[in-house]
A and B are shown apart, each in its own frame.
Chain A
């Protein structure tokens, strides 16, 4: 089966190469024959099928415990449940690269499948650039990180090393694939952009397609980033979810530029402005996904994650330089066709606010990139390696994120082209007053730190602008359909008609919820360390914790020491929950890990970690975190993902036409 997998990988490489070369050759012709386009389309789909077979081949070796394969031996063993044998496919660098190849090729296949509706002059170059990403990543997999390698022939290993205990987690099944779906999806907008530049087919068609595919990738990337944070929160035992580590930052960078792109694309669609800007964002976003892969596989920066100090860094760097250089050359070549249709007329216009939003997002992106690369820069320029940590990222990004929240309230409400003073007053007076009153109320309630007060009041300001928009939309819709403003049918019709607009509002509302949760968990977090004997109590906030006992447990592949701690409400001494934090020892890997006990609540999370037990085995040392509103961070993320899906999923044209017809009928009565 492993031979089959390797053969499929080689075949995919050959097909991707054919796709790139043939796509460019066909694209250069003045007339594009339908048969050529169809052949290229099939080649693009075949690449994904071949890579699927390669992935299946590797998966089969894991499931059947084939420890003659080096990669399987390294990351699996017989005791692991079957689900971890599957997730171990991407548990190491070689397999994760293969998964990457498959996912990027799968995206390309989906685009190819849908491409029959796309403008024909765009197609040959589209297939060529779609196949570029799979070709590059298959090349890396095949020649540098091949998972289809045997151990020495004389060795028949009875069992494998096993996956590291920290990776034996259900999140391993979903977090890396989701994140990869986000990263790899960003190869599609890049392919559209480069195909448009290469073919000269620079009408607004390609930018609309870019928007849809960017949104799909963005939704996956959002889910992947948040899942990573949730995993870290549950698993690592330090009470937080984001540490500005290079791996986390690598996933955030393309998310920031993709978010900027999703806003600026609208300016080009509506007004024909920011054409070169959007191309730059598309290329930058794709380049940052490649940069992230380079960062995590080159070993150039220190991280809490173990990185490979491999020699494949230069391959990524060469590819990165290639894609940027090609884009620059093509933009210069097409500069006349990329002139904006008009200039931004007023600071008080939606296009100016969207540009501001882009600049804030890019500033955050630059700051994060600077923070990640600072050790490299400082060593190159001063000879001394220096680094920056969480204080740097917070100092720069907190004010920038808050200004982004402010713009989130302004952007969707302000008019295109130019907003009159009366419109501005009508739209923003009440929200400003609301935000101001919230700030006064918070100070009066004893919250006096600047950033939390600013954050909460800005969130309230934005919430009021969203509600104001909704109210205006419902009133207008009620006028058209002659129904009540607040009836569910009016809301449903409005939502169907302006799905993209209100989907975006759902995303914005999710961001607000997350912002409140992050502010609360940063500003009002409680941390305590204490030791308890059986029956002893510790009181904090509105809770008391009592140690019932400490006990030892034996499981299939680990042993555990567990503290049973009764969590009570101080108000009436009622038992809320029994928390069971653990220390686990995995004899096979000789690793000790902590298992957090967590009580998620709407007001706060009670997060308990067992630090150790004394020599008698009866007293437990514990670390407690009380994280206010933490659960709302995850709710906010879910809202963002739902909003992303609402905006990304296309509505059948027939349904839209039927709806419009119905409304026209009502108006004519």
Chain B
């Protein structure tokens, strides 16, 4: 391998490494479930978190004087932990009680102040949900 090849590759390993390291340190946020957030934060505030959970009632959506969506989230797999969420923005498509959402924001004063709210949308990667079937699949009747 030539001198120039090695110099350029080494340079990029260092520059790329520093860029990625700095950006990670400055922007990473903790990923939590509602139950983990309740346990971890208790009465303390927790800046920069991502929380994934299932939307639960009561849901309030006001559009005047500004658009504000408030709701609760619970663990997707069930449980008692409930965290209130306040989001100043448009209600995303498919948002409803029972939907799974991803929230980026801060935990302040016992509520998540969401900077970004995304409803998990359907995709071609979604599996067939066994519970959604009229009855379980009869494996014996699989063709072949």
- List residues 283-322 of chain A with CB under 8 A from any CB of chain B: 296-297, 302-310
Say whether B19 faces chain A, with CB atoms less than 8 Å apart: yes
CB-based contact A70/B67 at 8 Å:
no
Question: B123's closest neighbor in chain A, by CB?
Answer: A305
Question: A3's closest neighbor in chain B, by CB?
Answer: B143
**Known: A374-B28, A592-B94, A621-B67. Is A395-B128 also a contact (CB below 8 A)?**
no
CB-based contact B137/A149 at 8 Å:
yes
Measured CA separation A176–B8 after assembly (Å)? 38
Measured CA separation A70–B1 after assembly (Å)? 57
Query: What chain B residues lie within 8 Å of A303 (beta carbons)?
Result: 102, 120
Query: What chain B residues lie within 8 Å of A73 (beta carbons)?
Result: 134
CB distance from A657 to the nearest CB of B (A): 38
- List residues 371-401 of chain A with CB under 8 A from any CB of chain B: 374-375, 378, 384-389, 391-392, 395-396, 399-400
CB-based contact A400/B23 at 8 Å:
no
- Total number of residue pairs linking A and B with CB closer than 8 Å: 229
CB-based contact B94/A166 at 8 Å:
yes
**Known: A93-B125, A166-B121, A306-B125. Is A391-B27 also a contact (CB below 8 A)?**
yes
CB-based contact B15/A363 at 8 Å:
yes
CB-based contact A389/B29 at 8 Å:
yes
A151, A157, A247, A593: the one contacting B94 at CB < 8 Å is: A593
Measured CA separation A375–B30 after assembly (Å)? 9
CB-based contact B141/A153 at 8 Å:
yes
Interface centre among B61, B118, B132 (most CB of A within 10 A): B118
Beta-carbon contacts of A132-165 to B below 8 Å, as 1s and 0s?
Answer: 0000000000000010111111010100010010
CB-based contact B23/A529 at 8 Å:
no
Query: What chain A residues lie within 8 Å of B5 (beta carbons)?
Result: 343-344, 355
CB-based contact A146/B93 at 8 Å:
no
Measured CA separation A469–B20 after assembly (Å)? 36
**Known: A359-B12, A367-B16. Is A344-B2 also a contact (CB below 8 A)?**
yes
**Known: A344-B2, A385-B31, A392-B23. Is A612-B126 also a contact (CB below 8 A)?**
no
A302, A400, A611: the one contacting B67 at CB < 8 Å is: A611
Query: What chain A residues lie within 8 Å of B2 (beta carbons)?
Result: 340, 343-344
CB distance from A192 to the nearest CB of B (A): 24
Query: What chain B residues lie within 8 Å of A305 (beta carbons)?
Result: 120-123, 125-126
Measured CA separation A314–B124 after assembly (Å)? 19
Say whether B34 faces chain A, with CB atoms less than 8 Å apart: no
Query: What chain B residues lie within 8 Å of A591 (beta carbons)?
Result: 93-94, 96
Measured CA separation A308–B122 after assembly (Å)? 11
Measured CA separation A7–B143 after assembly (Å)? 9
B22, B27, B125, B135: the one contacting A155 at CB < 8 Å is: B135
Query: What chain B residues lie within 8 Å of A235 (beta carbons)?
Result: 93
Say whether A2 faces chain B, with CB atoms less than 8 Å apart: yes
**Known: A151-B133, A152-B135, A302-B52. Is A396-B124 also a contact (CB below 8 A)?**
no
Interface residue tally on B, bucketed by range? 35 or more
CB distance from A209 to the nearest CB of B (A): 25
Say whether A594 faces chain B, with CB atoms less than 8 Å apart: yes
Say whether A90 faces chain B, with CB atoms less than 8 Å apart: yes
Say whether B90 faces chain A, with CB atoms less than 8 Å apart: yes
CB-based contact B120/A343 at 8 Å:
no
CB distance from B77 to the nearest CB of A (A): 11
Say whether B47 faces chain A, with CB atoms less than 8 Å apart: no
A95, A344, A370: the one contacting B20 at CB < 8 Å is: A370
CB-based contact B52/A238 at 8 Å:
no
Interface residue tally on A, bucketed by range? 35 or more
Say whether B75 faces chain A, with CB atoms less than 8 Å apart: no
Query: What chain A residues lie within 8 Å of B109 (beta carbons)?
Result: none
CB distance from B17 to the nearest CB of A (A): 9
Say whether A356 faces chain B, with CB atoms less than 8 Å apart: yes
B23, B50, B96, B126: the one contacting A387 at CB < 8 Å is: B50
CB-based contact A304/B125 at 8 Å:
no
- List residues 569-612 of chain A with CB under 8 A from any CB of chain B: 590-594, 609, 611-612
Query: What chain A residues lie within 8 Å of B132 (beta carbons)?
Result: 74, 161
CB distance from A501 to the nearest CB of B (A): 25
**Known: A386-B31, A389-B27. Is A594-B93 also a contact (CB below 8 A)?**
yes
Say whether A91 faces chain B, with CB atoms less than 8 Å apart: yes
Query: What chain A residues lie within 8 Å of B23 (beta carbons)?
Result: 367, 388, 391-392, 395-396
CB-based contact A166/B93 at 8 Å:
yes
Say whether B58 faces chain A, with CB atoms less than 8 Å apart: no
Say whether B138 faces chain A, with CB atoms less than 8 Å apart: yes
A236, A306, A590, A611: the one contacting B96 at CB < 8 Å is: A590
Say whether B79 faces chain A, with CB atoms less than 8 Å apart: no
Measured CA separation A576–B86 after assembly (Å)? 37
Measured CA separation A150–B144 after assembly (Å)? 11
CB-based contact A611/B91 at 8 Å:
yes
Say whether A352 faces chain B, with CB atoms less than 8 Å apart: yes
A362, A363, A389, A529: the one contacting B104 at CB < 8 Å is: A389
A residues lining the B interface (CB < 8 Å): 2-3, 6-7, 10, 70-71, 73-74, 90-96, 146, 148-153, 155, 157, 161, 164, 166-167, 176, 235-238, 247, 296-297, 302-310, 340, 343-347, 352, 355-356, 359-360, 362-363, 366-367, 370, 374-375, 378, 384-389, 391-392, 395-396, 399-400, 529, 531, 590-594, 609, 611-614, 619, 621, 623
6 A-B pairs with the lowest CB-CB distances in the bound complex, closest first: A343-B2, A621-B63, A308-B127, A164-B122, A363-B16, A305-B123
B residues lining the A interface (CB < 8 Å): 1-5, 8-9, 11-12, 15-16, 19-20, 22-24, 26-32, 50, 52, 61, 63-67, 90-96, 100, 102, 104, 116, 118-128, 132-138, 141-144
A-B contact pairs, 19 of them (CB 8 A): A2-B143, A93-B127, A94-B128, A149-B137, A150-B137, A152-B136, A304-B102, A305-B121, A305-B123, A344-B4, A367-B23, A385-B32, A388-B23, A388-B29, A389-B50, A395-B27, A396-B23, A591-B96, A609-B90
List 18 additional A-B contacts (Cβ < 8 Å) besides A304-B121, A367-B19, A395-B27. Answer: A70-B137, A148-B143, A151-B133, A166-B121, A237-B90, A296-B125, A310-B127, A340-B1, A355-B8, A356-B8, A391-B27, A395-B26, A396-B20, A531-B64, A591-B94, A592-B93, A594-B93, A609-B90
